[in-house]
Amino acid sequence: MKKKQLILFCSIMTLFSFIGIHGQTKTPLFTNAIYQGNDQVYIDNPLNSDEFYTPILQGCYPDPAITRKGDDYYMVCSSFAMFPGVPIFHSKDLVNWTDLGGVLDDVNEFNPHDTGISAGVYAPGITYNQYNDTFYMIVTAFSGNLGNIIVKTKDPMKGWGSPIKLDFGGIDPSIFFDDDGKAYIVHNDAPEKGKELYNGHRVIKVWEYDIKNDKVIPGTDKVIVNGGVDITKKPIWIEAPHMYKKDGSYYLMCAEGGTGGWHSEVIFKSDSPKGPFIPAPSNPILTQRYFAKDRKNKVDWAGHADLVKGPNDQYYGVFLAVRPNQENRVNTGRETFILPVDWSGEFPVFENGLIPLEPKLKMPEGATNKTGQDGYFPNGNFTFTDDFTSEKLDYRWIGLRGPREAFIKTSKKGLEINPFETNIKEVKPTSTLFYRQQHNSFSFTTTLEYKPKSKKDLAGVVALQNEGSNYVFGITKKDNDYYLLLQKNKWPFRRGKIISEILASTKINIKDPIALQIKANGDNYEFNYSTNGTDFENVGGIVSGDILSTDVAGGFTGALLGLYATSANDAVLE
């Protein structure tokens, strides 16, 4: 089935599922959603007219890669099992970014329906080849038996071609086009069988790439980095390689140290794309691992970077880092940051990348800060409001393990969600429309019209780190009465069966719409409701956000806030 036919089919089937015998809506109706961020760091650090904030993408937008064609910059990030796959952004100045949706947006070609939230796709690369005027996005897909794939387009604004499977293993691929017309792929891989020296020992490989036939050339693979900068020190997780050419020399930049507290970025140099690559004496060129754990406005885990020549030939690097809350939790996940890069010497160095990172930067010359205006992505403290009446749903709303179009319908009334017979704890597509948590202190509020028919029906909101670490706050039925309940779902220490607990419940009158709210101040989360839209009452007191943090729940994502409906509710009141 072609993509357009699939979209039409999903739309028709979804429409039928929303309409009852007499044409009356019989599904949960969300009439608005309001996300409001209020982090102290932005209050304490207001912008001057020539400044902008970093991270440039707040919330779970990790593993950035970037490329340029003329004055157009395109950046992609990891998405794991979120759908569509590989979010992509466009900018003219590296300050103001437009959300273009996802590169892998055809569920027939990328279908993470049966994968855990931290599987799917991650660590993409994006490169523009000026010699054939084509953009290439390359990524590892942990679903659908895809493996390493590459997709192409002449214009990222108009969509991408179908995935092409590539015949090599490993992860974190990126593609480099030399000025002689040749192409190379570099990627992370395991050492040759029997030669792994320690846990976390990895290598970087290079392949020659056949541009005409879009495949690696068999037998051309070669290990160009073994272990990392200095294998005698047992460096771990050399990964995320990107190759560049400057002044006739080849540079290989990689992440090293694992994507946690020892994360860093390192650089190597060679006279050939196939090595040997010699590490810079100044490595690492970016890290936050050496500083006091209790530093103010802490940014940590910096690494996994990519470089681009920006306005006025000034280099910039995009990279991931985290902003922990006061309990050192990482609920906003790995975010996309940016720094200017000084490449006036032999090796590039991230400017101020080896001191504690600051929340704001000087803008490139000639740029004007329009973030949050004219369709540009916001940053800092901001409010996002949606009444779901627009024909085109904002790209910040995403599905999990499948397309959002499979279960939603927008109209002048608001957003209707057709409940799947799938619980939020299942490794299946869920009928949940998600928005990334982008601040440590925030509120997420929606207004819901809903009348569950049985105890199996539930609709409301969810705060989710993964299928085994989440809170559900929703309306369900017990006998002839309606209740609002708060359920905590948590994996035990060594995984296994998810432990579910109803933390609190309250009987409610659903005659009028009910406002539901998730509110957080750092690690303290509250779940509130209002029957008049103004006065909110708490259910369950203050609960810990620990299970919404990657350092507790595991995995690679940040917390997601969802509008959730299910006909497979298992939070049954006794």
Residues 6 or more apart in contact with residue 5 via CB below 8 angstroms: none
Q: Distance (Å, rounded) from C-alpha 332 to C-alpha 379?
A: 13
C-alpha torsion 52→57→58→63, nearest 10: -130
CA proximity to 330, closest of 108, 540, 557, 519: 557
The encoded tokens of residue 92 equal 């003219």
Q: Which of 517, 545, 550, 526 is nearest to 35 (CA)?
A: 517
Q: Are strands 315-322 and 335-342 parallel, antiparallel or unpaired?
A: antiparallel
Residue 17 region by backbone torsions, left for phi larger than 0, else alpha for psi between -120 and 50, else beta: alpha
Please check whether residue 537 is in contact with residue 431, taking contact to mean a CB–CB distance below 8 angstroms.
no
Residue located via tokens 């990392």: 228
- Beta carbons within 8 Å of 469's beta carbon, 6+ residues apart: 489, 490, 491, 547, 548, 552, 553
Q: What angle do CA 494, 79, 415 make, to 5 degrees?
A: 100
Sheet containing 147-153: order of strands: 120-129, 134-142, 147-153, 164-165
- Count CA within 13 A, CB hemisphere, residue 142: 18
Query: Where does residue 337 rank: exposed (0-12), middle (13-18), buried (19+ CB within 10 A)?
Result: buried
The span from the CA of 6 to the CA of 4, in Å, is: 5
The helix (H) or strand (E) run that includes residue 469 is strand 469-478
Residue 467 designated active-site: no
Sign of the torsion angle spanned by Cα atoms 537, 542, 547, 550: positive
Q: Pairing mode, if any, of strands 524-530 and 399-400?
A: unpaired
Gap between the Cα atoms of 204 and 226, Å rounded: 7
449 is catalytic: no
Strands of 432-436's sheet, edge to edge?
432-436, 560-566, 458-466, 469-478, 481-490, 499-508
Query: What is the spatial distance between Cα 8 and Cα 185, in angstroms, rounded to a whole number?
Result: 37
Q: How far apart are CA 564 and CA 233, in angstroms?
A: 48
Of the residues 221, 239, 386, 416, which is catalytic? 239
Which of 39, 63, 300, 306 does the annotation list as catalytic?
A: 63
In angstroms, the CA 445 to CA 463 distance is 12
Distance CA 51, CA 371 (A): 11
- Mapped onto helix, strand or coil, the DSSP state of residue 501 is strand
Alpha-carbon gap, residue 306 to 214, rounded angstroms: 23
- What phi and psi values does residue 460 have, to the nearest 5 degrees? 170, -135
Catalytic amino acids?
63, 239
